[in-house]
Structure 1
């Protein structure tokens, strides 16, 4: 077997932009999918049932394709590449594929058979309406195998990412969006059910995601030939790292899952209002934070393997600076523009003005946590690249505990007095994310792993000036442009574009006036 050429040492900013552009394509097509879903389903019982059912396998998609598996697998894979032979590397991949695949098959079978139990756990409030609960269980059974398919797809994507083939795995989620759009427009009228057409499209997308990545792995001579060997040292290390990593990289997702569980007891539509709010927060999170996290993880793993501690810290510092450059204005803009964005994108068809207003409330509160959600994506790899899993797990458990306590404290009063308990769920998730960030950052500093480079005071001054100017423009704009429930679609699009472009230009001008130059964010290597 011929040996693949070694991966080129590519500029991290360029790799991040490539990954981000592919992810942006995924998010844009995902936005189109969500708009159609809002149009056809609104925020009624069917929408709540589908969103709650899809959240279960989608939760695992985030863990595997963007989180725990990659964080556990890539450091070990990088070490094998740096210190072992091509045969040893291929042997590791084959055995991981066999062991992981066997576990996923077992979990999938148990999940399909035990769908009523899963349904009762993840949306217990639905049990008060038997018809709604039965519909929900049927959707879980159809979509649950997506967990296995997308997890294997995430495994394949992790291999490609370690060879700097970031665009392939970043493009894969586009397949789900395209198939779902086709299902709603073409298949749903034939089947007579939008939710069942969407459910089957999810399953098909999982198959396509594997088929799409296989040829790229074959060209690297790394297409897995599964073999079960639980005693293999590499497999043991990966599995040992992976189990706790699920907590370490998925705090926001776990808190969001708790939101869905609690929302099943709130007024009809609460799950869907939260779903669309969460989806919009994921837009900048996926385009920038996940892209940068995906790119720096293999670099950090290689730097740790070669004991380049100074470059390791510089890489983390670059990632944090870049994330704050994007995340801070995105957080502030989403909070201010929550109502215009929701009304423009989703208020049509069965998604009425009341649904849009309620969803805008939860978007404001979810958006408050966007900066923290994005920072987690770049701070957690600082631990996982060093194969330190215990610390992020401890931090994650604390954050989850804080989130649950806040949900209990906030939801009941908000729902009793104002019928907006879903806002308390979103706010508690945002606050828990900041607890997570503070503890992750403190741990990296305490261990001397991350030492912020010089110039942060000047950086904060530049960011501060640019964001203050942007916020002022957006507040003035939304004061005069405020009839979103009355305007037609075209007017909403035009006015929202004016606000977004105006705010974005002022932010860039503010950065320039403050002395920011593109060269300031040149990647360290």
Structure 2
């Protein structure tokens, strides 16, 4: 089941990321790396951050354990859904009313004219938060039933809609392209929701929703003893969920928050810096998603259920196997990314408004991000142990320390190395996250996992072979 879940997740993520790269390639060709691309990336940054934090971390890691252990799943699920929908609706309305202030917060370094251009774009993209929460909620319910394919593949619909909007606006003014791209984001969110309906119906969740709505109705409009019991169960389940959720927001989103902060800091640098960070980070996120996120997404429900049933050794065995698979895969990706950074950026983005200078700067930024791939990726495995034990508070503390360390590094390094320094600071933050996660997991448990001679031998041999093969390739073909 675990292997099937991993391959479903990784193949779906790969499929989605292929369309994501096609989108970015088309975007780079039309918008290049300048003012208008920076405006869109700033506007899309917060909704995209929200999508990654919710879809790849905080919500799932808090909701799923509560849903697994909850006695009244219907009222718990519907209550969480309604609460978040109403909160996000209110938040989106506030952004609409105070768009100027919000835009300035997202991009401190933009001048007044750029802020005015960016305001409506920020408002349009912010509505995606409501849609992406609904997508995440529905995907998490399907994970409970070990159905992963919709959650893995649905992001492709977002990318397809954005590509379609770029195609329709290809001959328009650049600001009109940005508007069309933003409306494409909203259309993609609606499509992501719709694709969940059939598997939800097939697995009986519509009936669960119906039961939950009836239970809520009974709580508010009945005074029977059963209604009081339902209210007490709902209160306890919701209290437990929110107690874990708020720390989990920080605990599961270090890389995303660091990238968000980098975007704000990059607005103080030369024009195009935000775009360099965006394009480089997009490629960095590919191996992180295909391997680290796919493994952790597939592993988490099994680990959580094993720990709930007091089968700790089974959970540790699963973690060891997953760790070594992930370690080797990310090792391969790190070596390849560092050695082929120029060639990768050239192949994916150079052309149209994206020049050779943009390629070389983006490649160096990408190289600095790749240094942090291993620590960021394998830290997710050890974080699962904390989340499964409902220790989101400790995970949040670890993330807060590593994030603060990364921000300090960013402020120092950006003065000397610009966008490249911001990417390096992110990798240093990842290293801190890894060290602190291992300490929380337990040094003895960690050494038990690391004590695997065959794994170390395979790691060394693979590294030697890969470096040799890529060195020969670069002797005949390289970009400079």
Aligned equivalent of 1:462? 458
- Listed one character per residue, the Cα deviations across residues 445-480 of structure 1 (whole Å, up to 9, x for unaligned) are 15x776734752331122012112211321332233
Checking the alignment, whether the CA contact within 8 Å between 1:274 and 1:362 is kept in structure 2 is: yes
Q: State the Cα distance separating 1:253 from its structure 2 match.
A: 0.7
- Listed one character per residue, the Cα deviations across residues 170-212 of structure 1 (whole Å, up to 9, x for unaligned) are 1110011110111111245478721111100001111111111
Equivalents in 1 of 2:416, 2:274: separation in Å?
18
Checking the alignment, whether the CA contact within 8 Å between 2:157 and 2:192 is kept in structure 1 is: yes
- Listed one character per residue, the Cα deviations across residues 34-64 of structure 1 (whole Å, up to 9, x for unaligned) are 0000000000100111111111110000011
Residue 426 of structure 1 is aligned with which of 408, 423, 431? 423
Residue 103 of structure 1 is aligned with which of 83, 87, 90? 87
Q: State the Cα distance separating 1:376 from its structure 2 match.
A: 2.6
Aligned equivalent of 1:197? 180
Matched, 1:374 2:377: yes
Aligned equivalent of 1:344? 347
- Listed one character per residue, the Cα deviations across residues 66-123 of structure 1 (whole Å, up to 9, x for unaligned) are 110001011111223xxx4xxx222221111112222221222222223222221221
Q: SS of the residue aligned with 1:348?
A: coil
1:29-178 mapped onto 2 (5 Å cutoff): 29-80=19-70, 84=71, 88-126=72-110, 128=111, 130-178=112-160
Q: State the Cα distance separating 1:378 from its structure 2 match.
A: 2.0
Residue 362 of structure 1 is aligned with which of 355, 362, 365? 365
Equivalents in 2 of 1:45, 1:476: separation in Å?
39
- Name structure 2 gaps, 5 residues minimum: 220-230
1:276-287 mapped onto 2 (5 Å cutoff): 276-287=279-290
Q: State the Cα distance separating 1:144 from its structure 2 match.
A: 0.2
Residue 319 of structure 1 is aligned with which of 318, 322, 326? 322
Checking the alignment, whether the CA contact within 8 Å between 2:376 and 2:433 is kept in structure 1 is: no
Aligned equivalent of 1:404? 407
Equivalents in 2 of 1:207, 1:98: separation in Å?
18
- Name structure 1 gaps, 5 residues minimum: 1-9, 415-420, 486-525
Aligned equivalent of 2:200? 217
Aligned equivalent of 2:223? none
Checking the alignment, whether the CA contact within 8 Å between 1:92 and 1:235 is kept in structure 2 is: yes
* Between structures 1 and 2, the one with greater helix share: 2
Checking the alignment, whether the CA contact within 8 Å between 1:399 and 1:433 is kept in structure 2 is: yes
Quote the RMSD (CA, aligned, Å). Answer: 1.8
Aligned positions, number: 459
1:261-276 mapped onto 2 (5 Å cutoff): 261-276=264-279
Checking the alignment, whether the CA contact within 8 Å between 1:274 and 1:426 is kept in structure 2 is: yes
TM-score in terms of structure 2 length: 0.92
Checking the alignment, whether the CA contact within 8 Å between 2:35 and 2:272 is kept in structure 1 is: yes
Equivalents in 1 of 2:149, 2:448: separation in Å?
30
Aligned equivalent of 1:503? none
Equivalents in 1 of 2:99, 2:200: separation in Å?
34
Residue 443 of structure 1 is aligned with which of 440, 444, 450? 440
Equivalents in 2 of 1:453, 1:173: separation in Å?
34
- Listed one character per residue, the Cα deviations across residues 207-243 of structure 1 (whole Å, up to 9, x for unaligned) are 1111111232122222346767896221221121111
